[in-house]
Amino acid sequence: MSDDHVYLSLAEAGPGPDGEARWAYGTGFADPLLGVDAAPPVGIDPADLAAYCLMLGDDALVLSQRLIQWITRAPELEEEVALANLGLDLLGQARRLLTRAGQLDGSGRGEDELAYWREESAYRNVRLVELENGDFAQCVVRLLLFATAREELYRRLVGHADPVLSAVAALGVKELAYHREYAAAWTVRLGDGTEESHRRMRAALDALWPWLEELFTPHEVELRLGVDPSPLRAPVLAALEGVLAEATLPVPEVVGRAYVNGRGGRHGVHTEAMGPLLAELQVVARAHPGATW
């Protein structure tokens, strides 16, 4: 910033090594899959792969929306920054996965058509990510459960035949490892902090643990694609138990939440929290059909 004249200073911050590229990296792109070969991998049913990308993309999008609701409400400024950061990572994953789903299902829908114009029953996220935010203990516990399971899953998808899924997983492993570490550090601080924080963490664990099982319950699409999530259960539980032990928190003894006639989030059957979440997410886009933003 060599001069304090506004015009010159603005011009100086233009594109280039010291300009645009350095700031808010990774948010401005308009095509999340620019330059990626759109052809489906040989030997895999593109409709199944599209459905699977939607499942993982919707998990990321919906949890991102919940994290975004924390902004301006976090307990400390450092947490504002961290939660925004986690939300951005998940939003980036969602954009790539939704775009990929639209390429593969033959509908030609882009990320925004999928995010803003699908009904609730077409959303395929697990119910854990859509539940109301609750207090910071619930924020931390949900992140811990989701990030531990998702990191474990991404680790296994790194070598997947689909280049987009493989690339999302490769970046996602690093992102989710940070999310898990952030959540684990807070789990330990809050579990082993004050009586109040310990009590809140136990309540949060009791409230959210029953929704964990859905992340390990295979959908027929996952079975056909050979990405059965049930083998994730043992390593994820072991990792969670390790964190809880350090946090002086007992592993909740609760049973999982039932499905509805055998159907849960992966089949489009959600909780009552989902409707208002989507109404808020979609309201502006739906008021202006066909508009570009």
The backbone torsions φ and ψ at residue 263, rounded to the nearest 5 degrees and listed phi first, read -125, 140
**81 touches other proteins by CB under 8 A:** yes
Place of tokens 């070969």: 37
**197 touches other proteins by CB under 8 A:** yes
**291 touches other proteins by CB under 8 A:** yes
Q: How far is the CB of 124 from other proteins (least distance, A)?
A: 17
Pairs from 269-274 (Cβ < 8 Å, separation ≥ 24): 269/121, 270/120, 270/121, 270/123, 270/125, 270/127, 270/130, 271/127, 271/130, 271/131, 273/130, 273/131, 273/132, 274/62, 274/120, 274/123, 274/127, 274/130
Complex with other proteins: residue 90 or 236, whichever CB lies closer: 90
Neighbours of 131 (CB within 10 A): 20
Q: How far is the CB of 217 from other proteins (least distance, A)?
A: 28
Q: Among residue numbers 83 through 122, which ones bind other proteins (CB under 8 A)?
A: 84-85, 87-88, 91-92, 94-95, 98, 111-112, 115-116
Interface pick for other proteins out of 16, 38, 189, 223 (rule CB under 8 A): 189
Task: For the chain, give the longest Cα–Cα distance.
Answer: 68
**17 touches other proteins by CB under 8 A:** no
**23 touches other proteins by CB under 8 A:** yes
The backbone torsions φ and ψ at residue 260, rounded to the nearest 5 degrees and listed phi first, read -110, 110
Q: Which range touches other proteins (CB under 8 A), out of 101-109, 185-193, 227-235, 262-270?
A: 185-193
**181 touches other proteins by CB under 8 A:** no
CA angle 92, 98, 104 (to 5 degrees): 140
Binding site for other proteins (CB under 8 A): 1, 4-7, 9-10, 13, 20, 22-24, 26-30, 61, 65, 68-69, 71-81, 84-85, 87-88, 91-92, 94-95, 98, 111-112, 115-116, 135-136, 188-190, 192-194, 196-197, 200, 280-281, 283-285, 288, 290-293
